[in-house]
Structure 1
């Protein structure tokens, strides 16, 4: 189990380039299964979760060739579908939540798809009902083996388009249903569809392959089925969660940092939400410039003077993946803020580690925490802690980089799941961080 040792309390300076978007990559990689032709994908992040999915595709028989840093060629013309019934597949699939999205493409192209109950972050209940209810609406039969925790869907006579209203705007659920519906007979209409940038990118890629999807960017998608898809080349967006992480890091460490090539148009409410904490964010072309906040930053109030409340919501609302960062940054703000994590009931349970570091946080219930900022009058204290999940892990790393003294973070594989070569990139802007195996 890996460990980071961090000497905190240093101001950082320089430029940092965000990696390719993890959540988009997991969807896009599954979409290569929809065609027998070559698909080239650029800007793939070199992180554990994405590499696990690439390995799973390799075991399934996808021909994979690395073309350069972050660029790969995929060709799914001779798949080994027997792998889906193997013990190795049960092991590979259960270690990665994103593996659920291979089911839609396999169902569309081969009339069957299987997956063991997938893993992922332990941040609360994460139902799969949306995925399988969507497949059932398209005409697939569903079965679940409770003993082996194994899901299966089959449509030997093909899928048929249908109108469906999703119970929740699940990003991965919408992606899975869209990938199944692009080759279904007739027209599929999906209402209350997720419309995150990741999903928009997937739809744009599928349309470039010959799919007929309209309504991209809205919560109403209309899909006219086609009989086959062709190859394409696609470039993944910069990771907006990483961009938000670097904004938080700059504020907490009073650092002057430029985040390059961020694709501003796809950031949504992220810059606005950080500005609510008093953080100065300047747009310079397609870069974000964060000046050194040597005088601190002050939380805004609502127009009526009431305490600021920052909560998550489906896109175009504020992404839940950045609430942990917002919470950490608020610990050194001037003023107080209520953080409301609506979507996952276990995501705030890492705050006890911040309290141990001296943060003033009241955990009201599993979904809400009130943060009373220090205004840098007292620094967080260095400590030893363990990373419970990807987003909590990067939040604790930011806290450690701002704290006085040397902190230790165990279980950093959780951070590696979502952040590429993070210690080298942080060192390049002056961070004192070492990896100990």
Structure 2
């Protein structure tokens, strides 16, 4: 009898296999611009960052890697962004009846499908939206880079495609050493990239829901309503906070015109949660803006999208739980619906474990490096949340520190997926219950 692996293990093995293959590819002489082949640590860290769609880098992507190496990196973050969930979905559609349920649960692990019958539909949305949007964004960027920045035809085409795919997959990789800083005053470059980031990071179940019920918000799922509401709150709140703390900072927004300040504040709010692009020098941000990034990067984007973090819906459920408790309500409610107790417990579990992982990662890096605590916290949360941003210390960390960041990227991308699956599949009904008691809280 064929043994079927636990879905959580399958997801881990898929990601690990992609990282191994990516590491071997990037170590080939053909992958580096020098033609000598990248050292193991450089190739490994880059592969982990690409597959986990983080965007953290220890070398300059545009100059260190050859065209083959850059293409390999793009394929890796395409796989890590939506390829894994598409493959899992297709597996779920091809299996025989005896193993269909378990294998479909593998697909549901990645897609967070709203129902078992939605897997095929979600797969179509994944493929259609992913391919079409990336091509459209690439086309817009190509025209702008060619006409507005005088890039050669080939350079404009490759840069447009690379950045469009990177933006949609929330990967944060750029062909420029300064990321997108050179385009800080170009709305026609920043705006399409922001659209790709938001659509890719909102989550495919939300896109699936909007596709079928766009004109009827009353029938949107609670997950869709929570994700869209939370996303809007984070975008507006982040935009306003960045404006407040960076308006007069000469090293970031202070030197820009008012329209550019507004555009870059919104770009920072959009990209900081998980995309990893930057249009200003992050090492020059005020401490208050760094603190804001801790929150935004930790939360991340929508479930079952290309974003990282503990996810918007998770935090929204916890906020609703706190509000209900403060009001003395027995049920946690939103939009005329009651949030299930299982979802509440899972949200608490994800948040607590995420916080513990960040704390342990911070302690580990403080032990093996000499950088200030605020910079270490920034790097750790950026790695765990797949945000890919950096204060500039990633490449300066010792090899052991880079291994810690690689583990955080892997856990942040795969850990929440496997945890969610384990919580669902590990649920069992106990034959007895202990007497209830009430410990003192607070």
Per the normalisation by structure 1, the TM-score is 0.28
What TM-score do you get using the length of structure 2 for normalisation?
Answer: 0.28
Is the strand fraction higher in 1 or 2? 1
Structure that is richer in helix per residue: 2
